[in-house]
Amino acid sequence: MYMGVGSYDAVYVYKQAAESAGTVRTGDIDNISDALEKTDYMGASGRIQFTSGDTDYAHDVKYGKDKQPMIARQWQKAENGNGLAGSGGKKVAVWPKEYATGKHQAPPWV
């Protein structure tokens, strides 16, 4: 599965929160956490916002159609290719159904 775009966005979301909090020190984590709760960031993977600290899933990403869609993608062998990820392969959205452009293919060792 390919979900690297989430890591890309995470770096920029953290950068924005640290700048807003004015710190990157681990001792100031409450200030960074407060800044993350105020995040409204349009990233490569969609709109990113976080839940507050007093919810069942504290500080989790808010998912939904108008927020972060959480699309799972997979590198798959192309029909006429002999490789993956840039050498005859293609990246396919496999979940959720409304975003899917193909079906998940189990690797040969499974």
User: Within this chain, do residues 50 and 91 fall inside the same structural domain, yes or no?
Assistant: no
User: Within this chain, do residues 77 and 55 fall inside the same structural domain, yes or no?
Assistant: no
pLDDT of residue 95: 87
User: Within this chain, do residues 52 and 84 fall inside the same structural domain, yes or no?
Assistant: no
List residues bridging with 61 in a β-sheet: 50
pLDDT of residue 3: 64
The answer to whether residue 76 scores a pLDDT higher than 90 is no
Q: Where does the pLDDT of residue 101 fall: very low under 50, low under 70, confident under 90, or very high at 90 and above?
A: very high
pLDDT of residue 86: 52
User: Within this chain, do residues 9 and 53 fall inside the same structural domain, yes or no?
Assistant: yes
User: Within this chain, do residues 53 and 80 fall inside the same structural domain, yes or no?
Assistant: no
User: Within this chain, do residues 4 and 44 fall inside the same structural domain, yes or no?
Assistant: yes
User: Within this chain, do residues 75 and 100 fall inside the same structural domain, yes or no?
Assistant: yes
How many domains would you assign to the chain?
2
User: Within this chain, do residues 58 and 83 fall inside the same structural domain, yes or no?
Assistant: no
* CB contact at 8 A, 92 and 102: yes
- Angular region, 59: left φ>0, alpha ψ -120 to 50, beta rest: left
pLDDT of residue 110: 82
- pLDDT digits 0-9 by tens, 23-57: 988 888 899 999 999 999 998 888 899 999 898 98
Which residues span the domain enclosing 77?
71-110
- pLDDT digits 0-9 by tens, 8-21: 999 999 999 999 99
Residue 48, CB-side half-sphere exposure with 13 Å CA sphere = 22
Q: Distance between CA atoms of 2 and 5, rounded to whole angstroms?
A: 8
Q: Where does the pLDDT of residue 67 fall: very low under 50, low under 70, confident under 90, or very high at 90 and above?
A: confident
User: Within this chain, do residues 18 and 58 fall inside the same structural domain, yes or no?
Assistant: yes
